[in-house]
Structure 1
Amino acid sequence: MEKATHSSNWDRVSEIELVYRSKVKASERPKIQSSRDAHEIVLASWDPGKIEFFEQFKIVLLNQAYRVLGIYELSSGGITGTVVDVRLVFSAALKANATALMMVHNHPSGNLTASEADRNITRKIKEAGRLLDIALVDSMIITPEGYCSFADEGLL
């Protein structure tokens, strides 16, 4: 009878390292207390040459005190939409050790009305966050001239 031999392939397995490095002191991180604060912070980080050109989706990662840990650009798309992968949203949130997040995307048309797709992805991310104890505190549509906050409008 032949013996089964097991070779050790441990050296062929990728190592995964989770690291979050901040160059900003905790006390110097901006605090979000309103949708207006969030709009100002996010708009300052947006490339003005892209906001009216094509749609982008970003997440604002927050700690327990709603101080901004970082802003992560998740996707860039076309004139009328972009793809949002929920797994990537929470991959970034978990890596930054965020306890809350905000979703933000622009509408190049300047229209601040939420589409059905906007509402659906908001529901999906809110539900996934509930399972991970990462609160979705707002979903915003921004333009250079204004914003729509789902939280303010009762859509969250």
Structure 2
Amino acid sequence: MRSMSGLDFMFGILNGDISMPPIGQVMNYALAEVAPGKVVFRGAPGFTHCNPMGGVHGGWYGTLLDSCLGCAVMTTVPKGSSYTTLEYKVNLSRAIPVDTEILATAWIDHAGRSTGTAHGEIRGVADGKLYATGSTTCLIMKLPES
């Protein structure tokens, strides 16, 4: 990771040269698109992502948006650096029906030397409905020398 920019790292995941993080398999979403300052994830919540009332757990929305927002910041991180989430906020607009395919899209708002911010949304693929929005602030940091 020290040898490539954040954008190159994200393209490596998209192209399959770098393994997808295991959280994507557990949460049933994957990176679908990468561009400078923008990423898109595609997925669908399943029954295993439901709360006791049978609805998709809010943590699914939050985990997906945290991944998507952070990866948008990662596309701006210079070679030899990485990021970590400092805080994120999620607003749920409506319930996502189980097995509904969605796109989560995030766009960079600011990328500085030490922080990055991004905003994003979750929309249905078939219906285009807005299911959630979110924002993040990330810490950008130099990776330690080996």
Do the two structures share a fold, i.e. TM-score over 0.5? no
TM-score normalised by length of structure 1: 0.27
More strand, by proportion: 2
User: Whose helix proportion is higher, 1 or 2?
Assistant: 1
Higher RCO (C-alpha 8 Å, min separation 6): 2
Structure ID, larger Rg: 1
Could you state the TM-score of these two structures normalised by the residue count of structure 2?
0.28
